[in-house]
Amino acid sequence: MNRAPIARVGVVGCGVMGAGIAHIAARAGLDVRVVVSSPVGVPIGFDRIRRTLEQDVRKGRLGEVDRDAALDLIEVTADIERLADREFVIEAIPEDENRKVTLLSRIGEVLKEDDAILATNTSSLPIGRLARATRHPDRFIGVHFFSPVPVMPLVELVSALHTSEWTRARTHDLLVDTLGKTPIDAPDRAGFVVNGLLVPYLLGAMRMIESGRVTADVVDQGMTLGCAHPVGPLRLADLIGLDVVKAVAEALHREFGEPQYAPPSILLRLVEEGALGKKTGRGFHTHAQ
């Protein structure tokens, strides 16, 4: 098996998470190829990555020369066959198990490298279940980044039953030595470690305001000023994306069947209405766009 550092990375999906992963990979000097679902999405995806790099420039974390160098390492395409030569590919589409299974199966057919690793950025779905869609489950692993990817240091590294130790070790080296992240080994269960703890807390805050006796501002102030949390639960849910919180809650509820994991009605209504939090400008709070 290849022991040289990974140099060619593929990212499938270019939403907030996919763009963030492409961003940090290019900043680390990797050859990055991003696949989007249609030709229309190619310029949109590239512009999204460019804007995340521009934000680093504005905040003094990156110089203009380094920004340009990173952009030169990124290709955005709608041709999934362009993943054939990648050494490491991560799927980063929304939390829809059927879509992920179909896509992971297709990516597995495309990869030509004998030791290419296929990863998923799922935030909630058990890795073993997704691994069944792949041709080489021994080279499949969960790599759950946190948003915003360029800023958050933690990554949950999730091995399934058939994930080889070589795959885990090689992915760990990529995360630590190349991307500068801090991985933790998480169990292969819905929600892993962080969302298994976090999502019931967020849902509890939603149920509290659903009662009509307290506002979102009061709940958030209670936790920031009373418990020294850097951000309140409802503002945090908006930052994560209410569609993502809903998907994770549903995965947890499906696996464990406990009432605390069931998404409350107020969350379902907001998602149905397209009020997904910061990315749409409205959720439990209003956000500038």
Q: Where in the chain is the domain with CATH 1.10.1040.10?
A: 194-272
Tell me the angle at which helices 16-27 and 41-58 cross, rounded to the nearest 10 degrees.
60
Fold of 8-185: Rossmann fold (3.40.50)
Quick one: what percent of the chain has pLDDT higher than 90? 94
Q: What is the mean pLDDT of residues 130-142?
A: 96
Q: What is the mean pLDDT of the chain?
A: 95
Q: How far apart are CA 258 and CA 225, in angstroms?
A: 30
Q: Active-site residue numbers?
A: 123, 144, 156, 195
The DSSP call for residue 284 is: S
Show Cβ contacts of residue 173 under 8 Å, excluding neighbours closer than 6 positions. 5, 6
Q: What is the mean pLDDT of residues 162-174?
A: 97
Q: What is the mean pLDDT of residues 171-185?
A: 98
| Res. 182 pLDDT band, cuts 50 70 90 | very high
| Res. 252 pLDDT band, cuts 50 70 90 | very high
Look up residue 200 and give its amino acid.
P
The number of beta carbons lying within 10 Å of the beta carbon of residue 221 is 12
| Res. 2 pLDDT band, cuts 50 70 90 | low
pLDDT at 76: 98
Tell me whether the omega of the peptide bond preceding residue 148 falls within 30 degrees of 0, making it cis. Answer: yes
* Nearest one of 22, 284, 249 to 145, comparing CA atoms: 22
pLDDT at 113: 85
pLDDT at 165: 97
Q: How far apart are CA 120 and CA 90, in angstroms?
A: 5
Q: Where in the chain is the domain with CATH 3.40.50.720?
A: 8-185
| DSSP per-residue string spanning 131-173 | HTTSS-GGGEEEEEE-SSTTT--EEEEE--TT--HHHHHHHHH
pLDDT at 67: 95
Q: Per DSSP, what are the bridge partners of residue 75?
A: 33
Domain 194-272 has CATH 3.40.50.720: no
Q: How far apart are CA 164 and CA 138, in angstroms?
A: 5
pLDDT at 55: 92
Q: Are 46 and 81 in contact (CB under 8 A)?
A: no
| Res. 13 pLDDT band, cuts 50 70 90 | very high
Phi and psi angles of residue 237, each rounded to the nearest 5 degrees, phi first: -60, -40
Q: What is the mean pLDDT of residues 271-276?
A: 97
The yes-or-no verdict on residue 231 having pLDDT over 70 is: yes
Using one digit for the tens of pLDDT, what is the confidence trace for 53-83? 999 999 999 999 999 999 999 999 999 999 9
